[in-house]
Amino acid sequence: MADIYEDIRKGERGAMVSIAAYLVLSAFKLISGYLFGSSALLADGFNNLTDIVASIAVLVGLRISRKPPDSDHPYGHFRAETVAALLASFIMAMVGIQVIVEAVRSLFEGAKAIPQLWSAGVALVCAIAMMGVYIYNKRLAKQINNSALMAAAKDNFSDAMVSIGAAVGIVGAQFGLPWVDSAAAVAVGVLISKTAWDIFRDSTYRLTDGFDEAQLLDLRSTIARTPGVEGIKDIKARVHGNHVLVDVVVEVDASISVMEGHQISDSIEERMSSRHNIMNVQIHVEPKS
């Protein structure tokens, strides 16, 4: 259990990296946008300010999930990180829709002042920096199997794409092609919205106790091969934060002692821990009829 809480602490560090990156990059973009007369860079900077809220939501969710079990939460507070991912998806969806709406509005506004080319360089530098944050958080999220940090990583990727879209629009404006900015913005907005939908779908699937059938079959196979297990009457599993809870009803020889049945249960727990990193297995033993 201590390892689980340590993994959550690592996830918090990833969320704090995102917050720090957004603070620095948003300030850089806003200042550069004013200096170089780039509305695209200004919009990108304000977008990053909004993303700070999503990263803070993830950080708060991870902090809550570290709280130990209590009388109201006997399984702990691990699902708080899934709720945080769900909130992040809502924020991302609002940003994606806003980007699309602003792009369409910009398309019908007509001619705009052409920003300095330097602003495109600023946007690309910020995109590279945010891509680095994305890679860091994605690797960490996979390492600790943390859905909230993975949502934050996908948000980082979306922001890198927004910056690239801004750079494309600024370069297009230099060649008298203002529609390129709007087209790039629409594509980026659709990408952000799609990412938000994926996070929303995964979070709601976990919160409603959905579980992958192929993984459940794998767990069932491991238990079935445990010496002493003669059958499996029922098996269920659900995701609780960053770990899995398993409930299984196994059949054993009706003539064995209670102690032997207990030893079989211990063997199942050891196999599930070593082969699948599952620490919580509720086992009910029944005689084989």
Query: For the domain that residue 272 is a member of, what is the CATH number?
Result: 3.30.70.1350
The reply to whether 76 and 124 lie within a common domain is yes
C-alpha span between 282 and 288 (Å, rounded):
19
The reply to whether 236 and 115 lie within a common domain is no
pLDDT in tens, the chain (289 residues): 556 777 788 888 999 999 999 999 989 988 988 888 777 777 778 878 878 888 888 888 888 888 888 888 888 888 888 888 888 889 888 888 887 887 788 777 765 666 777 888 888 999 999 999 999 999 998 888 888 888 889 889 988 988 888 888 888 877 877 677 677 777 778 888 888 898 899 889 988 989 989 999 999 999 999 999 999 999 999 988 777 899 999 999 999 999 999 999 999 999 998 898 887 899 999 998 7
The reply to whether 37 and 107 lie within a common domain is yes
End residue of a domain, out of 207, 235, 260? 207
| Domain span at 283 | 213-287
The reply to whether 133 and 173 lie within a common domain is yes
Number of domains in the chain: 2
Please tell me whether the overall predicted TM-score, pTM, comes out greater than 0.85 for this model. no
CATH value at residue 17: 1.20.1510.10
Which structure tokens are listed for 244?
């899995």
End residue of a domain, out of 192, 207, 222? 207
Q: Which of 246, 255, 250 is nearest to 282 (CA)?
A: 246
Q: Where are the alpha helices (DSSP H) in 208-249?
A: 213-224
The reply to whether 125 and 196 lie within a common domain is yes
The reply to whether 60 and 123 lie within a common domain is yes
Q: Are 111 and 173 in contact (CB under 8 A)?
A: no
- In this structure, the number of other CB atoms found within 10 A of the CB of residue 142 comes to 12
C-alpha span between 18 and 7 (Å, rounded):
17
The reply to whether 258 and 197 lie within a common domain is no
End residue of a domain, out of 207, 226, 241? 207
